[in-house]
Each structure stands twice: as structure tokens, then as C-alpha cells.
């Protein structure tokens, strides 16, 4: 007996009941209860098979100005959405805020970076320990030049641009915490910090030749950002020597930001040859910023042939905008098309 027959019988019994009252027998109660149970069973089944988004996934706007939307896991969104931008604007408006001249404020010993550095050299800071055991209170003493963050001005664009690069690359490869990432020339971790924060411990690797940049990374940026527990594998080296990263790791993303344009073309090709087998087939990506003159100088056909011999192919050119300042960056994308 189906749901329609059960409901029909209930209606029929009600229509033929005596006018003075409704008499419902025990079998009828059992029958009605069974019908209700069957109805809810089919209702729940239909809900469980609907094409609704899975739990933990929501639709959010793309970065401001790009249009469209993308499905991402709740709590794992990477880029700034249009809703985020509007929220910031609302907070500024509701608080009646306006940009003020960036001058030293009255407070406890206000200082420029240069003055802060001089204070650290002359007095070791505002309040400090004296005597032979004075250094025992600082677990990881850091040079004053790093404490005042002078290295944040070593780039041709604001330090905040590192976040823009991270968001573009992370979303391009659908980055997950268990992804493996290699940066060629991570410098002072302007970009790398964001990857390290997002990835599982030990999943961010970097080859860097500049000793000062490495000191900044280990002695200031990682400790001050609370990221020492992420144990990134950052190696001092040059000439595209990746042997210290091991032979078993396969990368989801390999990228070089403003690095290859400073290298001889021959050395770039040496690096690509060594890295091709380290890139995950099909889904793994190599991104190179600014230009690929190491390729274009060979000519289109010769470049394509050389890439093919390495199992690589060129996928296209991309640009991404900065969130906080008027700037865009160019990236060239490659993938490994065979195992």
C-alpha cells in the first residue's frame, strides 16, 4: 500500500464518520502512524540526494574587481572577498575616520626607524637589563637592524605585496595545508611567510643564496610571526642545487618571483631540468614572474621543443592586481604533462 492509498483511506474514513463525533479505531491509528513514517522516510531521502553544496563549503566573492564567485571550504578562504572590502569601508565610515599625516605621535619615546636603531645601539632599548647576566633574559637575541624592519624596504614595492603574490599562487593551484611548495629565492620571506603559515609543518621549501636574507628569515621574521614550529626547510645554496631537499618530495607548486630574470639563461634551464621530475604530473605548476626571456630568446619552436623534452609545457600568461596599492604583476604558468 502506497502513501496515496493510505492518505485516501484516512480522508474517506473521516468523510463517512458519524456527525456526532469521529470514532478512530486502533488499527486506523496504526495505519496512520505507518503512513506518516513512510512519508518522512521519503522526504529525508530526497533531501539527502539533493544537489546542495556539501557541508563546510560556501560561495564567496572573488577578490575585488574580478567578478564571479568560487566555492571554498569555510575557514580556508585565502583571498580577500568583496564582502571583506565592504566591511573595512563600513568600519572606517562608521567610526568617522580620515587619513591623517603620518607624523610621530606623542607617547612613550616615539622614534623613527633610524632613531629606534640608534637607541638599540646606544642603550639596548628603552628598558633593559644590566650586568654580566643581562643577555640571559633574551632567548634569541636579534640584531637591531632586523628589529626595526629595515629589510621591509629592500623591495621595489611595498612589503604588503607579498600577500598579493601568495593569494594569486595559492588559488591558482588550489593550495591545501598538505601541499608541498618550493620557492626559488625566497629572500626575507615577504611571500614565504604566508605559505608557511598556511601549510603543514615542513611543507614549505626554499633555496636562497643571500646570507643576509637568510639571517632575516631565521632571526626575525619566523620568530616574530610565531612560525618557528612550522619548520620550513630553507637552504642556503646557488647554482640550482636542490639535493638538500631530498629525492622523494613531489611539489604541488614551484615558483620564482623576480629571480630568473637575474640568472643566466643556461642556469635557468639547468634548474628546470632538475625540477621537472620533482613537480607533480598534470596538477603541479611552475610559476615564473615578470618575463621568460630564458625561453623567448630561443624562439617559440625551440623553446617549446626544449620544454617538451623535459616533460613540461607552457600554459599561459596571467596578471593579478594588488589589494592595497596600484600595482599588477605578471606570471607565466607551466605544468608537467607526463609522469
pLDDT category of residue 303 using cuts at 50, 70 and 90: very high
pLDDT digits (tens, 9 = 90+) for 29-87: 555 556 655 555 555 454 444 333 333 333 333 334 333 333 334 346 788 899 999 99
- Using a 10 angstrom Cβ sphere, with 0-12 exposed, 13-18 middle and 19 or more buried, the burial of residue 124 is middle
Answer whether residue 114 is part of any domain.
no
Predicted confidence at residue 37, as pLDDT, reads 58
Cβ neighbours of 18 (radius 10 Å): 7
Answer whether residue 117 is part of any domain.
no
Q: How many domains does the chain have?
A: 3
Answer whether residue 120 is part of any domain.
no
Answer whether residue 142 is part of any domain.
no
For 292, the domain range is 153-336
Whether residue 89 sits in one domain with residue 10? no
Whether residue 219 sits in one domain with residue 166? yes
Predicted confidence at residue 33, as pLDDT, reads 58
Answer whether residue 103 is part of any domain.
no
Whether residue 290 sits in one domain with residue 193? yes
pLDDT digits (tens, 9 = 90+) for 126-150: 567 777 777 667 788 888 888 888 8
Whether residue 199 sits in one domain with residue 88? no
Quick check: 111 and 128 in contact, CB under 8 A?
A: no
User: Which of 24-28, 84-88, 111-115 shows the lowest mean pLDDT across its residues?
Assistant: 24-28
pTM of the model: 0.72
Whether residue 317 sits in one domain with residue 183? yes
CATH number, domain of 239, equals 3.40.50.150
Whether residue 192 sits in one domain with residue 254? yes
CA distances from 316 to 107, 148, 330 (A): 52, 40, 11
Q: Which helix (H) or strand (E) holds 235?
A: strand 233-236
Whether residue 301 sits in one domain with residue 162? yes
pLDDT digits (tens, 9 = 90+) for 203-248: 999 999 999 999 999 999 999 999 999 999 999 998 899 999 998 9
Give mean pLDDT, residues 184-208. Answer: 96
Whether residue 306 sits in one domain with residue 285? yes
Amino acid at each position: 500500500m502506497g502513501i496515496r492509498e493510505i492518505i485516501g483511506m484516512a480522508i474517506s474514513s473521516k468523510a463517512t464518520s458519524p456527525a456526532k463525533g469521529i470514532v478512530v479505531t486502533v488499527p486506523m491509528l496504526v495505519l496512520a502512524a505507518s503512513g506518516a513514517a513512510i512519508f518522512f522516510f521519503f522526504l529525508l531521502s530526497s533531501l539527502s540526494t539533493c544537489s546542495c553544496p556539501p557541508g563546510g563549503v560556501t560561495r564567496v566573492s572573488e577578490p575585488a574587481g574580478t567578478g564571479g564567485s568560487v566555492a571554498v571550504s569555510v575557514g580556508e578562504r585565502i583571498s580577500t572577498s568583496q564582502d571583506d572590502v565592504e566591511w573595512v569601508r563600513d568600519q572606517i565610515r562608521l567610526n568617522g575616520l580620515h587619513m591623517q599625516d603620518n607624523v610621530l605621535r606623542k607617547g612613550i619615546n616615539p622614534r623613527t626607524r633610524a632613531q629606534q636603531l640608534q637607541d638599540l645601539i646606544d642603550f639596548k632599548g628603552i628598558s633593559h637589563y644590566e650586568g654580566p647576566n643581562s643577555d640571559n633574559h633574551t632567548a634569541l637575541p636579534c640584531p637591531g637592524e632586523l628589529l626595526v624592519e629595515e629589510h621591509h624596504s629592500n623591495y621595489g614595492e611595498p612589503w604588503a605585496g607579498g600577500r598579493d603574490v601568495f593569494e594569486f599562487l595559492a588559488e591558482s593551484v588550489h593550495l591545501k595545508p598538505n601541499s608541498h611548495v618550493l620557492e626559488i629565492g625566497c629572500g626575507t620571506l615577504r611571500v614565504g611567510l604566508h605559505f608557511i603559515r598556511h601549510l603543514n609543518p615542513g611543507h614549505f621549501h626554499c633555496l636562497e643564496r643571500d646570507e643576509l636574507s637568510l639571517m632575516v628569515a631565521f632571526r626575525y621574521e619566523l620568530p616574530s610571526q610565531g612560525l618557528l614550529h612550522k619548520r620550513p626547510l630553507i637552504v642556503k645554496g646557488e647554482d640550482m642545487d636542490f639535493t638538500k631537499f631530498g629525492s622523494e618530495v613531489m611539489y604541488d607548486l614551484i615558483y620564482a618571483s623576480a629571480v630568473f630574470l637575474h640568472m643566466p639563461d643556461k642556469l635557468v634551464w639547468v634548474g628546470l631540468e632538475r625540477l621537472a621530475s620533482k613537480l607533480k604530473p598534470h596538477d603541479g605548476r611552475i610559476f615564473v614572474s615578470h618575463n621568460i626571456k630564458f625561453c623567448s630568446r630561443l624562439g617559440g619552436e625551440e623553446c617549446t621543443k626544449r620544454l617538451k623534452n623535459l616533460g613540461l609545457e607552457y600554459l599561459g600568461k596571467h596578471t593579478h592586481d594588488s589589494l592595497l596599492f596600484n600595482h599588477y604583476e605578471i606570471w607565466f604558468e607551466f605544468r608537467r604533462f607526463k609522469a
